[in-house]
Amino acid sequence: MKPIFFIGFMGVGKTTIGKRIGDVLNLPVIDMDHYIENKERKTIKDIFHQHGESYFRDLETRVLLELESEEAIITTGGGVVERKRNRDILGQNGSVFHLTCSFDALWERLEGDEDRPLVQKNSKDKLSALFERRFPLYEEGSSVTIQTDEKSVDEVVQAILPYIKS
Protein backbone atom coordinates (compact mmCIF):
# COMPACT_ATOMS: atom_id res chain seq x y z
CA MET A 1 0.00 0.00 0.00
CA LYS A 2 1.25 3.47 -0.86
CA PRO A 3 0.90 6.36 1.58
CA ILE A 4 -2.28 8.39 1.86
CA PHE A 5 -1.54 12.11 1.54
CA PHE A 6 -3.63 15.02 2.80
CA ILE A 7 -3.06 18.39 1.15
CA GLY A 8 -4.83 21.73 1.43
CA PHE A 9 -4.65 25.22 2.83
CA MET A 10 -3.80 25.74 6.48
CA GLY A 11 -6.78 25.28 8.75
CA VAL A 12 -8.78 22.92 6.52
CA GLY A 13 -8.26 20.00 8.91
CA LYS A 14 -5.38 18.00 7.39
CA THR A 15 -3.82 17.11 10.75
CA THR A 16 -7.11 16.40 12.53
CA ILE A 17 -8.53 14.29 9.70
CA GLY A 18 -5.19 12.57 9.09
CA LYS A 19 -4.96 11.49 12.73
CA ARG A 20 -8.53 10.17 12.73
CA ILE A 21 -8.01 8.25 9.47
CA GLY A 22 -4.78 6.86 10.94
CA ASP A 23 -6.74 5.60 13.95
CA VAL A 24 -9.49 4.09 11.78
CA LEU A 25 -7.04 2.34 9.43
CA ASN A 26 -4.49 1.55 12.14
CA LEU A 27 -1.75 3.35 10.20
CA PRO A 28 0.97 5.67 11.49
CA VAL A 29 0.53 9.37 10.81
CA ILE A 30 3.47 11.46 9.63
CA ASP A 31 3.15 15.23 9.74
CA MET A 32 5.62 16.48 7.10
CA ASP A 33 6.34 19.74 8.89
CA HIS A 34 7.19 17.89 12.12
CA TYR A 35 9.23 15.37 10.14
CA ILE A 36 11.25 18.21 8.59
CA GLU A 37 11.68 19.94 11.95
CA ASN A 38 13.01 16.73 13.51
CA LYS A 39 15.31 16.09 10.57
CA GLU A 40 16.68 19.65 10.54
CA ARG A 41 16.54 20.11 14.33
CA LYS A 42 14.95 23.51 13.69
CA THR A 43 11.43 24.89 13.57
CA ILE A 44 9.88 25.63 10.19
CA LYS A 45 9.93 29.30 11.16
CA ASP A 46 13.70 29.12 11.82
CA ILE A 47 14.34 27.21 8.58
CA PHE A 48 12.52 29.94 6.62
CA HIS A 49 14.33 32.70 8.51
CA GLN A 50 17.83 31.19 8.24
CA HIS A 51 17.69 29.57 4.80
CA GLY A 52 14.68 30.97 2.94
CA GLU A 53 11.63 29.48 1.28
CA SER A 54 13.50 27.88 -1.62
CA TYR A 55 15.61 25.80 0.79
CA PHE A 56 12.48 24.73 2.66
CA ARG A 57 10.71 23.73 -0.57
CA ASP A 58 13.80 21.63 -1.46
CA LEU A 59 13.43 19.89 1.91
CA GLU A 60 9.76 19.22 1.21
CA THR A 61 10.64 17.62 -2.13
CA ARG A 62 13.27 15.37 -0.55
CA VAL A 63 10.85 14.35 2.20
CA LEU A 64 8.07 13.56 -0.30
CA LEU A 65 10.50 11.28 -2.12
CA GLU A 66 11.57 9.63 1.15
CA LEU A 67 7.98 9.04 2.25
CA GLU A 68 6.40 8.00 -1.06
CA SER A 69 6.78 4.30 -0.22
CA GLU A 70 5.71 4.53 3.43
CA GLU A 71 2.57 2.74 4.49
CA ALA A 72 1.27 5.73 6.43
CA ILE A 73 -1.01 8.73 6.51
CA ILE A 74 1.01 11.81 5.55
CA THR A 75 -0.23 15.30 6.31
CA THR A 76 1.55 18.02 4.35
CA GLY A 77 2.17 21.68 4.92
CA GLY A 78 -0.14 24.06 3.09
CA GLY A 79 2.58 25.23 0.71
CA VAL A 80 3.79 21.82 -0.48
CA VAL A 81 2.03 22.42 -3.80
CA GLU A 82 4.05 25.55 -4.53
CA ARG A 83 6.59 23.43 -6.44
CA LYS A 84 5.59 21.68 -9.65
CA ARG A 85 7.92 18.78 -8.76
CA ASN A 86 6.02 18.27 -5.49
CA ARG A 87 2.69 18.25 -7.30
CA ASP A 88 4.12 15.68 -9.73
CA ILE A 89 5.29 13.45 -6.86
CA LEU A 90 1.88 13.71 -5.23
CA GLY A 91 0.12 13.12 -8.54
CA GLN A 92 1.96 9.81 -8.99
CA ASN A 93 0.20 8.54 -5.87
CA GLY A 94 -3.40 7.36 -6.18
CA SER A 95 -4.44 8.50 -2.69
CA VAL A 96 -4.01 12.25 -2.39
CA PHE A 97 -6.90 14.02 -0.70
CA HIS A 98 -7.37 17.75 -1.10
CA LEU A 99 -9.28 18.95 1.94
CA THR A 100 -10.94 22.30 1.40
CA CYS A 101 -13.66 24.61 2.63
CA SER A 102 -14.89 28.11 1.84
CA PHE A 103 -12.47 30.89 2.71
CA ASP A 104 -15.02 32.39 5.12
CA ALA A 105 -15.19 29.13 7.08
CA LEU A 106 -11.41 28.94 6.98
CA TRP A 107 -11.02 32.50 8.23
CA GLU A 108 -13.29 31.70 11.21
CA ARG A 109 -10.89 28.87 12.11
CA LEU A 110 -7.70 30.88 11.53
CA GLU A 111 -8.45 34.39 12.73
CA GLY A 112 -6.30 35.19 15.75
CA ASP A 113 -4.33 31.93 15.56
CA GLU A 114 -0.98 32.90 17.05
CA ASP A 115 0.69 29.61 16.11
CA ARG A 116 0.51 30.34 12.38
CA PRO A 117 3.00 33.00 11.26
CA LEU A 118 1.26 33.38 7.88
CA VAL A 119 -1.95 34.35 9.69
CA GLN A 120 -0.13 36.78 11.96
CA LYS A 121 1.70 38.65 9.21
CA ASN A 122 -1.02 38.75 6.53
CA SER A 123 -4.38 40.44 6.25
CA LYS A 124 -7.58 38.53 5.55
CA ASP A 125 -7.45 39.80 1.95
CA LYS A 126 -3.87 38.61 1.42
CA LEU A 127 -4.67 35.18 2.85
CA SER A 128 -7.77 34.98 0.65
CA ALA A 129 -5.64 35.77 -2.41
CA LEU A 130 -3.13 33.07 -1.41
CA PHE A 131 -5.99 30.60 -0.88
CA GLU A 132 -7.38 31.40 -4.36
CA ARG A 133 -3.94 31.15 -6.01
CA ARG A 134 -3.16 27.80 -4.40
CA PHE A 135 -6.56 26.16 -4.99
CA PRO A 136 -5.81 24.99 -8.57
CA LEU A 137 -2.40 23.75 -7.40
CA TYR A 138 -4.07 21.55 -4.77
CA GLU A 139 -6.44 20.26 -7.42
CA GLU A 140 -3.53 19.44 -9.74
CA GLY A 141 -1.74 17.48 -7.02
CA SER A 142 -4.72 15.55 -5.71
CA SER A 143 -6.88 12.63 -6.77
CA VAL A 144 -9.96 13.53 -4.66
CA THR A 145 -11.30 16.81 -3.25
CA ILE A 146 -13.26 16.68 -0.01
CA GLN A 147 -15.24 19.66 1.32
CA THR A 148 -14.98 20.11 5.09
CA ASP A 149 -17.44 23.04 5.44
CA GLU A 150 -19.90 22.45 8.26
CA LYS A 151 -18.92 18.79 8.55
CA SER A 152 -17.81 17.00 11.67
CA VAL A 153 -14.52 15.12 11.70
CA ASP A 154 -16.44 11.85 11.49
CA GLU A 155 -18.48 13.06 8.49
CA VAL A 156 -15.28 13.98 6.64
CA VAL A 157 -13.72 10.62 7.52
CA GLN A 158 -16.82 8.81 6.24
CA ALA A 159 -16.57 10.77 2.97
CA ILE A 160 -12.92 9.70 2.56
CA LEU A 161 -13.06 6.00 3.50
CA PRO A 162 -14.81 4.72 0.33
CA TYR A 163 -11.97 6.15 -1.80
CA ILE A 164 -9.36 4.38 0.31
CA LYS A 165 -11.12 1.04 0.30
CA SER A 166 -11.68 1.00 -3.46
pLDDT of res. 165: 67
- Is 87 labelled as part of a ligand binding site? no
- Is 15 labelled as part of a ligand binding site? yes
- Is 33 labelled as part of a ligand binding site? yes
Domain boundaries, the chain: 4-146
pTM for this structure?
0.91
Q: What share of the chain is helix, strand, coil (3-state, %, to 5)?
A: 60, 10, 30
d(CA 115, CA 140): 28
- Is 12 labelled as part of a ligand binding site? yes
Q: What is the pLDDT of residues 43-91, one digit of tens each?
A: 888 888 899 888 999 999 999 999 988 899 999 999 999 999 999 999 8
Which class is domain 4-146? alpha beta
Q: What is the pLDDT of residues 87-141, one digit of tens each?
A: 999 988 769 999 999 998 888 877 666 566 566 666 788 889 999 999 999 999 8
3-state class (DSSP) for residue 97: strand
